[in-house]
Amino acid sequence: MTDLHQAARRCLDASEPADKLRLTHATWQAFLAGELRPSEDSPPPEPIAAPGRPLRPLLVPSRQVPHRGLGTPEGRAALVHAVAHIEFNAINLAWDAVYRFRGKPDAYYRDWASCANDEARHFAMLSARLAELGHAYGDFDAHNGLWEMAEKTAHHDTARMALVPRVLEARGLDVTPGMIERLRSVGDERTVDILEVILREEVAHVAAGTRWFRHCCERDGIDPRDTFLDLLRDYMGASLRGPFNRPARLEAGFDEEELERLTALAL
């Protein structure tokens, strides 16, 4: 196989986590070696559907996912599981960005294939931590919010770049420092070390979303700040949760005016 789009689809379709991780790392290495390139002859993307995933975790509405305290190993395991589920979804989101949106610059495909590789590594670290806590991926219920937004934006590359990396994934930049602080207060330095790696690397992933969102806006001759807020209103009813991690978001490509406007909208 030499077509990057079809290789991305193969990663998307893999249902077992071990297979998805193995294929993701192999696809990234093949891309780096020049063995995979986006092909103009690739079949057009199929309509978006559920990606490959294991039978568990059970997916439930977000309000039904129980919140547990961090004072017990079970509570810490539930938190690690929730983050692992986000990272597993993020692997699929990155590969769908490669598979679904065609005719992009090579740097676009490099960014999202690199993100998929990072997310797979993050998932592996969290899975190992879950095992140390006596659990495995699938032991706790989870929600499907990230992939639901991917489905809503499958037809619109500008919306996808705006709303998945710059809203849903960027939320991780806001909440992870607080999680780290709470875990440190209960002495869980092992999980803290993993989350610090993820936080540091997720800044670059949100920055990739910023970069390609602005590329889409420039292509279409539209203002990125106004368009971002319009998309928020259209797809999410402008419902944002604050506060925002301003230093991390600035590093990820948000500007001060954007953050001021987001802060005014935030709940």
> Is residue 48 a part of any domain in this protein?
no
Q: Which helix (H) or strand (E) holds 158?
A: helix 157-163
> Is 59 inside any structural domain?
no
- The pLDDT, as a whole number, for residue 240 is 82
Q: Binning pLDDT at 50, 70 and 90, where does residue 108 land?
A: very high
Number of domains in the chain: 1
In a domain, 80, yes or no: yes
pLDDT in tens, 146-189: 999 999 999 999 999 999 999 999 999 999 999 999 999 999 99
- Longest C-alpha distance within the chain, in Å? 55
Q: What is the pLDDT of residue 266?
A: 83
Does 45 map to a domain?
no
Share of the chain above pLDDT 70, in %: 99
| Tens digit of each residue's pLDDT (9 = 90 or more) over 206-258 | 999 999 999 999 999 999 999 999 999 999 886 788 899 999 999 999 999 99
Containing structural domain, residue 14: 4-38+66-265
Is 44 a member of any domain?
Answer: no
pTM confidence score: 0.96
Phi, psi at 49, each rounded to 5°: -145, 180
CA distance 82 to 148: 16
Residue 173 lies in a domain: yes
Q: Could you tell me the pLDDT band of residue 259, with boundaries at 50, 70 and 90?
A: very high
Residue 259, domain member (yes or no): yes
Q: Which residues are registered as beta bridge partners of 240?
A: 266
CATH of the domain at 138: 1.20.1260
Question: Is 120 part of any domain?
Answer: yes
| pLDDT the model gives residue 157 | 98
Note the pLDDT of residue 267: 67
Over range 5-27, report the average pLDDT: 98
> What residues contact 21, with CB distance under 8 A and at least 6 apart?
91, 120, 123, 124
Whether 161 contacts 231, CB under 8 Å: no
